[in-house]
A and B are shown apart, each in its own frame.
Chain A
Amino acid sequence: MILDYALTFAFLCFGFGLAMNVYRVFRAPGVPDRILALDTMVVNVIALIVLYGIKTKSGINFEAALLFAMTGFVSTVAYCKFILRGDIIE
């Protein structure tokens, strides 16, 4: 019973966080802020996937979360590398 309330609360928190990150992606003073907001979006979406796994009582979603973590890391590093050097793989 209390677990359902806590789950809903966590869903709302991470959802609001995701909305703030979307705002920061569109309104940012510089490119590194946008990359940071995208990276935080990936982390928040991983949390949402994990919470959805608890809600549906299935362990299927964790592979998706793991893949999301990997692609998020690689894309952030690639974006930063592109800004730093103008090229991703030299």
Chain B
Amino acid sequence: MKSILPVLTVVGAILMLWVLAVVPMNMHLTADQAQRDGVVVSPDTPAARQEYTGLGLTLRNPSLIAATFVQERPRLPSPHQVAVEMWNTIVLKKITSKRSLVYHGWVTLSATLLGFGIGTSLGILLAVGIVYNRAMDMSVMPWAIASQTIPILALAPMIIVMLGSIGIQGLFPKAIISAYLSFFPVVVGMVKGLRSPDGMQLDLLRTYHASPSQGFWKLRLPASVPYLFASLKIGISASLVGAIVAELPTGARAGFGARMLVGDQYGQPLVTWAALFAAAITAAALVGLFSLLERLTLRRMGMVQA
């Protein structure tokens, strides 16, 4: 709980910068609108106003400042506009509505969780293979690293189109892209974790004449748990990004990615911003959930000092 104050301080600073940025960002738009409504604006033609920066125009028309915060289609929405839009689409809309962010959130989240499950399982299996099999040790890691250098934005449409052409649509292709992003941190973390027992601990098991499977279940696996949790926290946020990216290039009708795209294409910045914040909050909640699970598990295992 000690972290609340620093976090709030940072949030406050960001909000302040944001509010300050709203005025110059929206000033040209506001001036155009005000002139149409019969207000005298200086200078008095859009072309002349283009000569000014947002800040310059603000200094010549201080009376318009208030109006920059309530534009219907602002270049940069003000914080309260985003908050109101989120309140409307999360709390007030029925969750069955196509405009409810809860509905879109669930669409993205379900792909995220499925992809995360696939990616984590694959990551753990690959790590076990790398640790126990010399051929896999030599061959898998370079490919895993190479896989992460391909821009996911280029790969996502290809995967979705290819899977679509063999009749697989909807949740699964998005989950594949989620898995593609989330398996990597799990592989890296688990390889490190499974290899974390030192020579002395391995020798100890040899003096007991323990079998390799006993070595795995009794030593390597429990020793890797703290590393696994570190990886899971990176993996779950990567999964969410993967699911959103998978919704962007393919004209998905639902999900956070679809909302961001709709907002962009139909000139409704508030929709985009609300989806953006909802996605960020979802990611924070997922990472928070895994931090909590980590604390509980490690405490239960006796690995942190309670």
> Does A associate with B in a complex?
no
